[in-house]
Amino acid sequence: MACYQNLKDYLQHEQIKLIEGAITKHQKNDVDINGNTHIESLYCTDDERSNQKMELVVSVACNDTASEKQYYRVILFGSLDLKLKDIRVIEVGECDKSDIRDDELLNHFILPDVRAEDLERIGNELFSYYSMFAGMNGYGLSLGKIISNMNAPIFFADLSDDCLGRINLVEADIKTYHYNIETQQLQEVSGHAKPGVILLNKKKYYDDQDGELLITVAHELVHWQFHQKFF
């Protein structure tokens, strides 16, 4: 999924045949889809088990004129833990153009809908989770213990000066280095980075010892906690 701009783009390119097949079955072959299917809007909800429900409004152009479009509400369901490999259509029905929703960031990127009043609770839960692995003393965070105890995919890399760290979203050709806990030295491990690994700026944090590394580590670990299900 990470190679697409957003979830809607992914569904349009990878799942449109599934959607067209469901519409054709619903209409009992009375509509000539002929590849003229477009996802107009997307609305997502999920539950605590990472099951994703996606409500689409889909247009089907029966000929070359926009006035001849027909609109359908298509409900998809899939597991984020399975990276939507089990995605399936659970409902299809006719609808109107007026049912098209405005695009929203939360739906396009499946971002968690975090309310302001929940921030402190979520922060405390994350702190408690990582403290189990890092052997935290007060608010100290041990990078070495996180790497060894959690098997967290943290590497140093030759990043640009304006990038302190990042979650790698797609396969990338970039030189990466593993932090050896025993020697506290870096060892070059690969010229390639897989999706889902955390990359830290080698020049800034290791070569120049410039700035507070653990702030960036903590920031990226939160991304990793929420987003690793996509990789």
- Domains, the chain, with CATH or none: 7-109 (3.10.450), 116-230 (no CATH)
Lowest mean pLDDT among 57-66, 88-97, 213-222: 57-66
Residue 136's pLDDT is what? 61
| Residue 140: per-residue pLDDT | 65
Kindly give, in sequence order, each residue whose CB lies less than 8 Å from that of residue 95, ignoring residues fewer than 6 positions away: 57, 71, 72, 73
Report the percentage of the chain scoring pLDDT > 90: 33
Q: Do the Cβ atoms of 74 and 40 come closer than 8 Å?
A: no
Given a cut of 70, is residue 151 above it in pLDDT? no
| Residue 54 predicted with pLDDT over 70 | yes
**Torsion from C-alpha of 130, 133, 137, 139, nearest 10 degrees:** -20
Compute the average pLDDT of residues 149-153: 72
User: Which residues are bridge partners to 74 per DSSP?
Assistant: 56, 92
Cα distance between residue 114 and residue 96, in whole Å: 31
The whole-number pLDDT of residue 129 equals 79
d(CA 96, CA 35): 20
More confident residue, 22 or 154: 22
User: Of 144-148, 180-184, 199-203, 205-209, where does mean pLDDT reach its minimum?
Assistant: 144-148
pLDDT of 72 > 90? The answer is yes
Q: Is the pLDDT confidence value at 30 over 60?
A: no
pLDDT averaged over every residue in the chain: 82
Q: How confident is the model at residue 126 (pLDDT cuts 50, 70, 90)?
A: confident
Per DSSP, 64 falls in state: S
Cα(first)–Cα(last) distance of the chain, in Å? 8
pLDDT of amino acid 107: 78
Average pLDDT over residues 171-180: 87
By percentage, how much of the chain surpasses pLDDT 70?
83
